[in-house]
Structure 1
Amino acid sequence: MLIRAAVPDDAEALTDLHLDVWEEAYAGLMPDRIFVERRAQRRTRIERWRTNIETGPISNTVLEADQPGRLIGFASAGPARDDDSELPPLELSALYVRAETYGAGLGYALLEAAIGRAAAYLWVLDGNERATAFYARQGFRFDGHTKTDPVGTERRMVRT
């Protein structure tokens, strides 16, 4: 396994990984039409990943499997996107690994690579008990803030 910074050539593999892990993590937590819509926008998503990697303020860390080019996880972190002066200035905007690797410590390795032990916050989909338990073990706690968007209700977790 290799943890490294994402490069523009990863855009297609990251898109496919992102589509797959959403379906694995969120099956039953959001309507299936969301997954269908996301897959229908694959080409656009590839270009968005490429642009984000090239120019975005968010750093994207990828976990590559033993086979070169086969991505099995990723994390994204960067400056806080929420306008709340009480929040840490660092946001973990994504952390996903393929279901086949659950429990192997890869999520923890990606978290460490993305933000280390820094104070940070994140949003987790309500009902995603696996993610909630993982983040709680890493020192994140719910702060009572929620937001609702087309994929469902998200709850904010903060680590100070």
Structure 2
Amino acid sequence: MVVREAIPSDVPSVAKIHMDVWKDTYEGIIPSEVLSQRTYDELEDSWLDRLFEDPDTKEFMLVAENDDGDIVGFIVVATDGDEGYRGVIKSIYVYEDYQRQGIGTMLFNAALDKLVEEDILNLIVWTYKDNKNRVFYEKMGGKVFKEIVVEIDGRKVGKIAYVWDNIKH
């Protein structure tokens, strides 16, 4: 498994992972109408614009590529801050067949290394409280910082923030 910076030609694979894992992870948490509204093409356009066409982007993406050259996971981190934390995990998704094999950890640690290189030493991530995979953030040393309730298509959904006050290791 190799973790590397994403390039524009990775975007179709990233959009597929994003859509497929997002739907599986958030089914029953986010209203199904919202889950069914996204398309692969929209996600591709969004990732291309956000990461590769916006000269002022404050985000970077790392991908995990298996031995066959297939992308099986990715992480996106912003450096524009939230709640006083300079690093912000925007997305981390790994295909279900590749979960619990250390790939998320590899992506997370590579992102931390990149943040430290940019002298960004703290981090926050928001996730849905009912996301069964949020224990990953606890495993990675995240501490519960804040809980809120948001409304998505008329449904109240709990969100929780995990923080790392010092990511330098």
Give the counterpart of 1:142 among 135, 141, 144.
144
Amino acid at match of 2:13: A
* Alpha carbons 1:9, 1:50 under 8 Å: kept: no
Equivalent in the alignment of 1:78: 78
CA distance in 2, matches of 1:102, 1:10: 20
Residue aligned with 1:37, SS: coil
Secondary structure in structure 2 of the residue aligned to 1:73: strand
C-alpha distance in 1 between matches for 2:36 and 2:68:
28
- Offset at 1:148? 1.2
Q: SS of the counterpart of 1:14?
A: helix
Residues 76 and 94 of structure 1 are in contact (CA less than 8 Å); yes or no, is this contact kept in structure 2? yes
Q: Tell me the alpha carbon deviations over residues 50-72 of structure 1, each in whole angstroms, 9 at most, x when there is no partner.
A: 1222132101001112222x221
In angstroms, what is the RMSD of aligned CA positions? 1.9
Aligned length: 153
CA contact (8 A) 2:147 2:158 kept: no
Relative to the length of structure 2, the TM-score reads: 0.81
In structure 1, C-alpha distance between the alignment counterparts of 2:91 and 2:151, rounded to whole Å: 16
Tell me the TM-score normalized by structure 1. 0.85
C-alpha separation between the residues in 1 aligned to 2:151 and 2:79? Answer: 21
Tell me how far 1:44 sits from its aligned partner: 2.4
Amino acid at match of 1:155: I
* Greater Cα offset, 42-51 or 92-101: 42-51
Aligned partners of 1:73 and 1:95 also within 8 Å: yes
> Which residue of structure 2 aligns with residue 49 of structure 1?
47
Alpha-carbon distance, 1:26 to partner: 1.6
Match in the other structure for 2:163: 158
CA contact (8 A) 2:65 2:71 kept: yes
How much does 1:27 deviate?
Answer: 2.2
Unpaired runs of 5+ residues, structure 1, are: none
Q: Which moved more, 1:145-154 or 1:118-127?
A: 145-154
Q: SS at 1:144's partner residue? A: strand
Which consecutive residues of structure 2, in runs of 5 or more, have no partner in the other structure? none
In structure 1, how many angstroms separate the alpha carbons of the residues matched to 2:11 and 2:100?
Answer: 26
